[in-house]
Amino acid sequence: MPITASVGFVTFLTYLPAAFSAIHGWDAGRAGAMMLVATLPVILSPGATVSVMKRHQIGIGPVLAASIGCLVAGSVAMLALDPGMPVWAVVPALALIGLGFGLPLGVVDGEALARVPGHSSGSAAGLLNFARIGSEALAVACYSALLTVLVQRRIPDQTIANQVAAGASGRAADYASAQHMVALGCGAFVLVLGVAIWALSQGASNSSEPKS
């Protein structure tokens, strides 16, 4: 789950300000203000998730499914970030990725640590943090590299291509096309991880059942 968050949220959080600049010509202040749409759900949803889980006796499975669904849907909805669309059309995508990141915060860590012996809790917490921080660094680097390669394929002049990939305005359609492909790739990767999480959870459930 930490890896899905890195791919489906942290990458966009890092590079969407540059996308707003390249596609819509926004300055850093306006782009930063728009990113609040993605970050506010991260602040509000964890507490609400725990409250709903306790009130309705919901397990972690539906929370993880909802998180992955939001991240995948948000990645696909990033197609609305296009020079031919109003900038506000991307608001649903921002809200979705924020929810996808925020819904399982804390819950995943608690569930994981509850499944290991007490004497191994320190190691388990370290592994979780390694997965979280390490995957964030790798996902951000891969996003940037792939976006740059795709922009360079559309713009022959490498100097201009690198400037556009960094957020320079003037070639909005080229940047948007590359960004759409990367966003869809992120969504597909999160979906694959979601299937893997489901398969692993099913295997864990089967192995814990008493044998007749």
* Tens digit of each residue's pLDDT (9 = 90 or more) over 83-136: 999 989 999 999 999 999 999 987 887 777 777 887 777 888 888 888 889 999
Confidence of residue 206 (pLDDT cuts 50, 70, 90): low
Give the per-residue pLDDT at 111.
78
Q: What pLDDT does residue 172 have?
A: 94
Burial class of residue 9, CB neighbours in 10 A (0-12, 13-18, 19+)? buried
Residues 6 or more apart whose CB falls under 8 angstroms from that of 37 comprise: 91, 94, 95, 98
**pLDDT > 80? residue 24:** yes
Q: For residue 125, what are its two tokens?
A: 């917490």
pLDDT tens digits, 33-54: 999 999 999 999 988 888 888 8
Q: Can you read off the two tokens belonging to residue 113?
A: 């640590």
pLDDT at 208 over 70: no
Contact of 106 with 63, CB cutoff 8 Å? no
pLDDT number for residue 200:
86
The predicted-structure confidence for 124-169, as pLDDT tens digits, reads as follows 888 888 888 999 999 999 999 999 999 999 999 999 999 999 999 8
**CA atoms of 115 and 50, how far apart (whole Å):** 18
pLDDT of residue 92: 96
Query: Has this prediction a pTM greater than 0.85?
Result: yes
- As a whole number, the mean pLDDT across the chain is 90
Question: From the CA atom positions of the chain, what is the Rg in Å?
Answer: 19
Give the list of residues 6+ apart from residue 89 with CB closer than 8 angstroms, or none: 80, 81, 82
Q: Say if residue 174's pLDDT is above 70.
A: yes
Does position 209 have pLDDT exceeding 60, yes or no?
no
CA distance 193 to 173: 30
3-state secondary structure the chain: CHHHHHHHHHHHHHHHHHHHHHHHCCCHHHHHHHCHHHHHHHHHHHHHHHHHHHHHCCCHHHHHHHHHHHHHHHHHHHHHCCCCCCHHHHHHHHHHHHHHHHCCCCHHHHHHHHCCCHHHHHHHHHHHHHHHHHHHHHHHHHHHHHHHHHHHHHCCCHHHHHHHHCCCCCCHHHHHHHHHHHHHHHHHHHHHHHHHHHHHHHHHHHHHCCCC
CB atoms within 10 A of CB 29: 9
- Asked whether the predicted pLDDT for residue 210 surpasses 60, the reply is no
Asked whether the predicted pLDDT for residue 16 surpasses 70, the reply is yes
Q: pLDDT band at residue 173, thresholds of 50, 70 and 90?
A: very high
